[in-house]
């Protein structure tokens, strides 16, 4: 993608960044709050142990729980880091599986809050794409928000990749009907800009069983396409 296409994405990109950054920041706060309580509990147990209670085994168990929260915090921070660097280059070669993994990490919180299971099916082999990785994240975010908004609590949304006639597409499939992509003007605007930057095309279609999908066709257009794996 040419650098000149970036300005059109900036406003939508900032909205996406704001929403996702706030979510990740909240998740990190959760981690810090848990560590804070676990550390307070350690102090309480240590005080009780000094007073004659048996607390050594509990202290060791709490240390393991703190360690697991630190690992969780690091994972969240890694996603934040990768998201931040996704705007570094307006055009680069990147792996679709990596981009989907990052999208999955970013989408986990909104899915959890909507009580929807997000099932990510990454491609079995690396798929090299040439283009703007941030525009792909933006497009996936807009597609997912549309699908999530229509999904009922307790349902599952599956995200998978398919290769059709040499082109790669990402399918976001839901057991619930998916509304038309123009039904939410703000999301439609975000998706239009992202697709234009990617040279991609998005559409929604029913699955014939009461559910529906949003399909993001990559490499369909004059912009970037699939590169060599």
Partner 1 sequence: MPADRVLLVDDEVSFLEALAERLRMRGLEVVCAKSGREALAEVENQVFDAVVLDLAMPGLDGIETLRRLRQLQPELQVMILSGRATVQTAVEATRLGATDIFEKPTEVDTLVQRIRSARAARLAREAETTQQHIDEIMRSKGW
Q: For partner 1, what does the binding mask look like between residues 132 and 171, x meaning CB under 8 A?
A: ---------------------x------------------
The site that binds partner 1 (CB under 8 A) totals a number of residues, namely 20
Minimum CB separation of residue 124 from partner 1 in Å reads: 31
Under rule CB under 8 A, residue 113 binds partner 1: yes
Contact 140, 216 (CB under 8 A): yes
Taking CB under 8 A as the criterion, the residue among 10, 11, 18, 36 binding partner 1 is: 36
Q: Scanning residues 40 to 69, which ones bind partner 1 (CB under 8 A)? A: 40-41, 44, 48, 65, 69
Taking CB under 8 A as the criterion, the residue among 10, 18, 32, 78 binding partner 1 is: 32
With CB under 8 A as the contact rule, which of the stretches 106-114, 173-181, 182-190, 218-226 interacts with partner 1?
106-114
User: Which residues fall within 8 angstroms of residue 219, CB to CB, at 6 or more apart?
Assistant: 129, 167, 168, 199, 200, 225, 226
CB-hemisphere CA count at 13 Å for 131?
Answer: 31
Taking CB under 8 A as the criterion, the residue among 112, 119, 152, 177 binding partner 1 is: 112
Instruction: Give DSSP secondary structure letters for 177-197.
Output: ----TTSSHHHHHHHHHHHHH
The structure tokens 């399918």 sit at 171
Under rule CB under 8 A, residue 205 binds partner 1: no
User: What gap in Å lies between CA 128 and CA 95, rounded to an integer?
Assistant: 5
Taking CB under 8 A as the criterion, the residue among 9, 20, 38, 105 binding partner 1 is: 38
Contact 155, 176 (CB under 8 A): yes
User: Which residues fall within 8 angstroms of residue 194, CB to CB, at 6 or more apart?
Assistant: 9, 12, 135, 136, 138, 139, 142, 200
Given the rule CB under 8 A, which residues bind partner 1?
26, 29-30, 32-34, 36-38, 40-41, 44, 48, 65, 69, 112-115, 153
């Amino acid at each position: 993608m040419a650098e000149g296409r970036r300005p059109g994405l900036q406003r939508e990109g900032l909205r996406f960044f704001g929403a996702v950054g706030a979510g990740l920041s909240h998740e990190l706060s959760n981690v810090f709050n848990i560590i804070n309580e676990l550390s307070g509990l350690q102090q309480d147990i240590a005080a009780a142990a000094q007073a004659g209670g048996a607390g050594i085994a509990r202290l060791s168990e709490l240390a393991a729980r703190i360690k697991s929260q630190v690992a969780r915090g690091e994972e969240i921070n890694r996603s934040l880091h990768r998201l931040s660097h996704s705007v570094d280059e307006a055009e680069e070669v990147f792996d679709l599986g990596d981009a989907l993994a990052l999208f999955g990490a970013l989408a986990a919180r909104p899915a959890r809050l909507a009580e929807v299971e997000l099932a990510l099916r990454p491609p079995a082999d690396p798929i090299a794409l040439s283009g703007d990785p941030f525009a792909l994240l933006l497009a996936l975010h807009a597609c997912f928000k549309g699908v999530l908004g229509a999904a009922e609590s307790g349902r599952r949304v599956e995200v998978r990749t398919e290769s059709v006639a040499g082109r790669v597409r990402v399918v976001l499939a839901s057991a619930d009907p998916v509304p038309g992509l123009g039904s939410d003007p703000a999301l439609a605007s975000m998706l239009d800009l992202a697709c234009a930057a990617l040279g991609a095309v998005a559409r929604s279609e029913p699955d014939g069983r009461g559910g529906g999908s949003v399909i993001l066709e990559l490499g369909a257009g004059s912009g970037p396409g699939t590169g060599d794996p």
